[in-house]
Amino acid sequence: MNRRNFLMTPPALALGMVAAPLLSQAAPAILTPASRILPRDGARPRIVICGGGWGGMTAARYLRELIPNADVVLLERNPTFWSGPMSNKWLIDVVSTDFVHHDAQRPANVYGYTRLITEVVGFERDKKQVRTAHGLIDYDFLILSGGIRNAYDAWFGNDQKAIDYTRNHFPSAYIPNAEMLALKQKVQNFKGGTLVMTLPPPPHRCPPSPYERACLIAWHIKKNKIPGKILILDPKPKVAPISMGYQTAFRELYPDIITHVPNARVQEVDPFNKRIKTLAGEFKFDDAILMPPHQAAEMVWQAGLIGTTPDGKPTGWADMHPRLYHARSDDSVYFVGDLMGAISDQFGHYPKSGHVANYIGKIVAQNIAERISGKEVVARLPDNLCYMMVNADPREAISVKFEYEVDAASGKVHQTQIDVDVRTEDLVKEDFVWIKEKFSDFLAI
Ligand SMILES: Cc1cc2nc3c(=O)[nH]c(=O)nc-3n(C[C@H](O)[C@H](O)[C@H](O)COP(=O)(O)OP(=O)(O)OC[C@H]3O[C@@H](n4cnc5c(N)ncnc54)[C@H](O)[C@@H]3O)c2cc1C
């Protein structure tokens, strides 16, 4: 599979599922971004979901099941679904492309929601409308589940040349798009030298997964006897989570390949001359996977729903009720997945994981169903579980689990973290059971 195929829409999806709703009777003949599309069907409640990844597809399924007369519309820019979880294993061929890449129209057909391939470009919240590349869509409830944006501006300001160069030459592949294919090519073609990996400052998408990626690329380097080294530039003072498990893997499995540099918060990046300045020193590289800071997807900024710090700066994440997941200033808008804001001053954010996105997708569907049926809304908490492969032969993984409860005294959500630092083959088996269960929950496979 090449980059072109990944971005291409299968003809049935492009013509059948996009054209049908747009050309329904009441729709105008010529569409402009100002056209109102997908006319309402009677008094059915309309829930529009922006972003059809782990969280959005889960919410769509459960909304249809819990509110049988709901008109659920999911807006997604990508024609197909590409999974972040398991994609590190796909980089070194532990799993095939078919394992991480799926038909996204099938679940829409199975569960009975409308999936429109389009770009969400803004909102008219006072009119309860979403602006898309195809036109305006009305809603009663809105779910924002667009994941993250790469905040290259934190490094480069508005220097678009440096941003484009970095994105094209040193992609991080942390957002489901063609960067995944570019990164795989980079790994498979790596001939040696220093490969630098920058980690974003917390909170960021799937905190343990950059270390998993380092281990698996190191395994590939070791297996193929490539004269290469990996330098992990980590803004944190130590590896986290699963600190001991990862440090043991680095030391025992890849002592001559992986170097972890703590407190290496990025200060300046010169992608053209392959240099990085950090608080832990200056580094030159031959190749790199440059992860800039992560923030909530553009759609939260477009909706005007980003939180602010006490001194009035944007937090970068959704401003939301920590237990009910709707916007503080607009309770018809819900947040699901990685774009969510802080939950508690004890631990900050829920881990930005597929597991949590899937869990919150269900909870938000339940909360909207309760509101539509006039029942009391129940505040529910997720959990989190991540398995991280550190060795591909034998296949061994470590893992981390997070549990949440409401502290009776303060009424705040409290987090317990359980690291499993000993790498075992059993954890790899559990990982495959986990992913199959999740895929069957929202991909209908
Ligand atoms: C390498 C890697 C390994 C990972 N490993 C794990 C793991 O082992 N376990 C785990 O639980 N999690 C893991 N994750 C994290 C997981 O992928 C994310 O946490 C999860 O995808 C978040 O779900 P989401 O719905 O918030 O965002 P996404 O799944 O990214 O979905 C957001 C969707 O919104 C769409 N979108 C965004 N903006 C627009 C727009 N303007 N218009 C239209 N569509 C838009 C995007 O195309 C995307 O499909 C991993 C991630 C990576 C990258």
* SS3 of residue 251 by DSSP: helix
Residue 284 has pLDDT above 80, yes or no: yes
Residue 201 has pLDDT above 70, yes or no: yes
List the residue whose alpha carbon is closest to atom 25 of ligand 1: 55
Q: Which pLDDT does position 29 carry in this prediction?
A: 65
Residue 7 has pLDDT above 90, yes or no: no
Closest-lying ligand 1 atom to the alpha carbon of residue 175: 30
Q: Which pLDDT does position 23 carry in this prediction?
A: 43
Residue 288 half-sphere exposure, CB side, CA atoms within 13 Å? 27
Residue ranges of the chain that CATH labels 3.50.50.60: 3-147+297-372, 156-293
Question: In which band, very low, low, confident or very high, does the pLDDT at 32 lie, cut at 50, 70 and 90?
Answer: confident
Q: Which pLDDT does position 171 carry in this prediction?
A: 98
Residue 290 has pLDDT above 70, yes or no: yes
Across the range 415-423, mean pLDDT stands at 98
If one compares 3 and 388, the residue with the highest pLDDT of the two is 388
Q: Which pLDDT does position 2 carry in this prediction?
A: 42
Contact 206 CB / ligand 1 (< 6 Å) = yes
Contact 354 CB / ligand 1 (< 6 Å) = yes
Mean model confidence pLDDT for the chain: 94
What crossing angle do the helices spanning 354-372 and 425-442 adopt, rounded to 10°?
A: 30
Residue 165 has pLDDT above 70, yes or no: yes
Question: In which band, very low, low, confident or very high, does the pLDDT at 310 lie, cut at 50, 70 and 90?
Answer: very high
The rounded percent of the chain whose pLDDT value lies above 70 is 93
By most ligand atoms within 8 Å of CB, the mutation choice from 49, 54, 131, 299 for ligand 1 is 54
Q: Please give the distance, rounded to the nearest whole angstrom, from the Cα atom of residue 354 to the centre of ligand 1.
A: 7
By most ligand atoms within 8 Å of CB, the mutation choice from 209, 298, 428 for ligand 1 is 209
Q: Which pLDDT does position 260 carry in this prediction?
A: 98
Q: Which pLDDT does position 33 carry in this prediction?
A: 82
Q: Please give the distance, rounded to the nearest whole angstrom, from the Cα atom of residue 78 to the centre of ligand 1.
A: 12
List the residue whose alpha carbon is closest to atom 5 of ligand 1: 85
Q: Which CATH number fits domain 3-147+297-372: 3.40.50.2000, 3.40.50.620, 3.40.50.2300, 3.50.50.60?
A: 3.50.50.60
Residue 12 has pLDDT above 60, yes or no: no
Q: Which pLDDT does position 128 carry in this prediction?
A: 98
Q: Which pLDDT does position 28 carry in this prediction?
A: 55
Q: Please give the distance, rounded to the nearest whole angstrom, from the Cα atom of residue 49 to the centre of ligand 1.
A: 14
Residue 15 has pLDDT above 70, yes or no: no
Across the range 404-410, mean pLDDT stands at 93
Task: Extract the tokens encoding 44.
Answer: 């059915």
The answer to whether 137 touches 37, Cβ cutoff 8 Å, is yes
Q: Which CATH number fits domain 156-293: 3.40.50.410, 3.40.50.20, 3.50.50.60, 3.20.10.10?
A: 3.50.50.60
Residue 420 has pLDDT above 60, yes or no: yes
Task: Extract the tokens encoding 311.
Answer: 């001194």
Query: SS in 3 state form for the chain?
Result: CCHHHHHCCCHHHHHHHHHHHHCCCCCCCCCCCCCECCCCCCCCCEEEEECCCHHHHHHHHHHHHHCCCCEEEEEECCCEEECCCCHHHHHCCCCCHHHHEEECHHHHHHHCCEEEECCEEEEEHHHCEEEECCEEEECCEEEECCCEEECCHHHHCCCHHHHHHHHHHCCCCCCCCCHHHHHHHHHHHCCCEEEEEECCCCCCECCCHHHHHHHHHHHHHHHCCCCEEEEEECCCCCCCCCHHHHHHHHHHHCCCCEEEECCCCEEEEECCCCEEEECCEEEECCEEEECCCEEECHHHHHCCCEEECCCCCEEEEECECCCCCEECCEEEEEECCCCCCCCECCCECCCECHHHHHHHHHHHHHHHHHHHCCCCCCCCCCCEEEEEEEEECCEEEEEEEEEEEECCCCCCEEEEEEEEEEEEHHHHHHHHHHHHHHHHHHCCC
Helices (H) and strands (E) in the chain, counts: 15, 25
By most ligand atoms within 8 Å of CB, the mutation choice from 206, 295, 352 for ligand 1 is 206
Q: Which pLDDT does position 30 carry in this prediction?
A: 76
Q: Which pLDDT does position 6 carry in this prediction?
A: 40
Residue 25 has pLDDT above 90, yes or no: no
Q: Which range among 327-331, 335-339, 393-397, 407-411 shows the weakest confidence by mean pLDDT?
A: 407-411
List the residue whose alpha carbon is closest to atom 23 of ligand 1: 54
Residue 253 has pLDDT above 60, yes or no: yes
The rounded percent of the chain whose pLDDT value lies above 90 is 91
Across the range 17-44, mean pLDDT stands at 68
Q: Which pLDDT does position 13 carry in this prediction?
A: 34
Residue 26 has pLDDT above 60, yes or no: no
Q: Which pLDDT does position 24 carry in this prediction?
A: 46
- Residues 39-50 pLDDT 10s: 987 889 999 999
Contact 119 CB / ligand 1 (< 6 Å) = yes
Residue 375 has pLDDT above 80, yes or no: yes
Q: Which pLDDT does position 41 carry in this prediction?
A: 79
